[in-house]
Chains A and B, each alone.
Chain A
C-alpha cells in the first residue's frame, strides 16, 4: 500500500489537472470528486494536514469557498508549510477572492518559508494583484542566484513602473480584480488557463497607458461580453472615480457556446 503522503500527492496532482481543465463549477454530487474525497478522508488519521488540503481543493472545484477555507484552516493549524499556503492561494485565486489571495501572497513571502514554492506560483501572482510583492521576491531570488528563467521578470518590472506612475498598490489592484472574481462566481465559472492575462500597455503610441487584465472564460464571445458589461457596472458602482491605470475585462474562448 502506498504511503499516505504518496496518496495525498497523487490526489493533489489529479486535482491540479482537474483545475487546469475546469471551465465551470463541478456539481456537488460529482462522482469523481466524491470518490477522491473518500480517499482523502481515509488519509485523515495518517496525514491530516495533507488530507485537509486535498479536501479544501475539492471544495474549491465545487465553488464552495466556506468549506474549502475550513479545510485549509484545519490544515494550517497542523502544518503551516509554504506548500499548504500555495494550495490555499490557488483555491482563493480560482474562486476569485483576489484580495484574500493577495494577503496569502504576503504570508508566502515570509523569509522563513521556502522560496521555491513561490517560484511556481509567482509567474501568475499578478492575477490577484501581487506585482510589487513579486518584484520583491525577484530581488530576493536574484540575491540568492536563483534561476528565474521561467519567470516573466520584465513584465513584472514594467508593471511595477506603471503602478508607481499611477500610485497603485497591490491591494488597489486586488480590489479591482475582486470585482471580476465576483462576476465569475455569479456565473459559476472558473477563468480558463493558469491565471489572468496581463498586458502592460506602456508603449508611447498608446494613449491609454496602464495594466490591462483579462480573464479568458470558456463561453462564447457574446456571453463573455455580457459578463464584461456586468463587471463594468459593478466597478462603476464600487469606485467613483474609477481607478486609473488598471483595467479588467473578460474574453470568451468558446469552450461551450451559450
Chain B
C-alpha cells in the first residue's frame, strides 16, 4: 500500500477537527510539513538536474531545502523561481514542525497549524502539485 503527499494533508485536516487538543494541533502541523516535504521531493526529482547541495553532511530534509534554494536549471525556466520560493517557505515550515514535535514547553495553538496548512497550499500552487 502506498501513501501520497495529499494523504499527509488529509490526515492533518482530520486532526484539526473542531475542538482539537494541543497534541492534535501539533500533530496536524507535522503532517502538513511532511505533505509539503514530499511534494517538494517529487518536484525536485522531476528537474532535469538536481539542485546544488553544499559540501558537508546534511540530513535528507536539510539537503532537499538547500538543493531547492540552489537550483542548477536555467534561470529562465519557470521551475527555477518555483524551486527557490518553495525552498524558502519550507525552512519555516520545518522549524514549525520541529517546534510542534520537540519544543513541548513552547506555546502552540490553532493559528500555528492553520498557518502551516495555508503555507502548504501555497507550496502546492508554486510547485504545481
Contacts and interface: CB of A to CB of B under 8 A. Distances in A.
Given A229-B122, A242-B69, A208 B95 contact: yes
Contacts of B126: 229
Given A226-B122, A229-B122, A253 B111 contact: yes
B80 to A, nearest CB: 9
Interface string B103-129: 100000001001101110110011000
B91 interface: yes
Interface in A222-254: 222, 224-226, 228-229, 232-233, 235-236, 241-242, 247, 249, 251-253
Given A241-B70, A242-B69, A251-B111, A206 B98 contact: yes
A247 B92 CA distance: 7
B92 A207 contact: no
A151 interface: no
Chain B interface mostly: helix
Given A205-B102, A221-B117, A225-B122, 9 more contacts: A205-B103, A206-B102, A206-B103, A207-B62, A212-B92, A220-B118, A222-B118, A242-B84, A252-B118
Interface residues of B, number: 28
A208 B94 CA distance: 8
Contacts of B62: 207-208
Nearest to A226: B122
Contact of B115 (A206, A224, A242): A224
A256 to B, nearest CB: 16
A224 B103 contact: no
Given A205-B103, A207-B59, A242-B69, A229 B89 contact: yes
Contacts of B118: 220-222, 224-225, 252
B85 interface: yes
